């Protein structure tokens, strides 16, 4: 074999190898993209608050994520465990939300648009102020067509969200399991939640 033909041969092999590597890299990237697109995004939410205003964010985000095909897990601990009770009597605190606009759900449109600046001293000393605030908030939510907390919770259940209830919180406050909904997937502790959070792409604390 001549030097020229040998160079041509090795040049051909080198070109073939480069072409193969290029095609392999391209195909590999396509397959990885397909795999990533087909894999469901996972979301875990630690729910720690049990007031009316804080009940909405976790259930709204969870139900939306479920609708998008995400795998969703909610871990309810401390006061957040209230959101899994069969009977929820959720209140809202103006003292805990100094920027909360107080609007009247009754009367003409111009009256409803007024944002009442209620002094903290008044909120703290008027008996039944929190119950009144909660009633006004529920009325406003209903008139605006916003689903109730119970409805949003049920949507999450129907969409396949996993509810983990904190066993330690139940023991701490002496809440019997009979007070809670049957759709709870598991009674567990922080270790179980961390195992889920470790493998979740998105983790939220509320």
Identify which of 36-45, 47-56, 108-117 has the greatest average pLDDT: 47-56
Q: What is the pLDDT of residue 32?
A: 64
Structure token pair of residue 39? 């894999």
Structure token pair of residue 12? 């051909």
What's the rounded Cα separation, in Å, for the pair 25 and 84? 49
Contacts of residue 152, defined as CB under 8 A and 6 or more positions apart, other chains included, come to: 56, 59, 60, 63
Average pLDDT value over all residues in the chain: 79
Q: Does the pLDDT value for residue 121 go beyond 50?
A: no
Q: Are 75 and 164 a contacting pair, CB within 8 Å?
A: yes
Q: Does the pLDDT value for residue 147 go beyond 80?
A: yes
pTM above 0.85?
no
Contacts of residue 61, defined as CB under 8 A and 6 or more positions apart, other chains included, come to: 43, 45, 204
Q: What is the pLDDT of residue 77?
A: 96
pLDDT in tens, 3-48: 455 555 555 556 666 666 676 677 767 766 665 555 578 999 999 9
What's the rounded Cα separation, in Å, for the pair 94 and 100? 7
């Amino acid at each position: 074999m001549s030097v020229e033909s040998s160079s041509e041969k090795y040049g051909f092999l080198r070109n073939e190898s480069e072409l193969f590597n290029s095609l392999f890299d391209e195909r590999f990237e396509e397959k990885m993209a397909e795999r990533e697109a087909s894999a469901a995004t996972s979301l875990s939410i630690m729910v720690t608050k049990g007031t009316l205003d804080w009940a909405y964010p976790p259930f709204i985000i969870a139900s939306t994520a479920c609708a998008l095909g995400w795998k969703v897990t909610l871990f309810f601990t401390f006061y957040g465990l209230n959101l899994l009770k069969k009977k929820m009597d959720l209140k809202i605190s103006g003292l805990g939300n100094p920027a909360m606009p107080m609007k009247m759900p009754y009367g003409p449109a111009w009256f409803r648009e007024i944002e009442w600046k209620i002094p903290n001293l008044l909120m703290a000393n008027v008996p039944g102020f929190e119950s009144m605030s909660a009633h006004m908030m529920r009325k406003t939510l209903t008139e605006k067509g916003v689903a109730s907390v119970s409805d949003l919770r049920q949507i999450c259940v129907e969409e396949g969200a996993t509810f983990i209830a904190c066993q330690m919180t139940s023991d701490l406050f002496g809440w019997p399991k009979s007070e809670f909904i049957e759709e709870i997937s598991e009674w567990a502790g922080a270790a179980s939640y961390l195992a889920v959070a470790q493998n979740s792409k998105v983790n939220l604390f509320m």
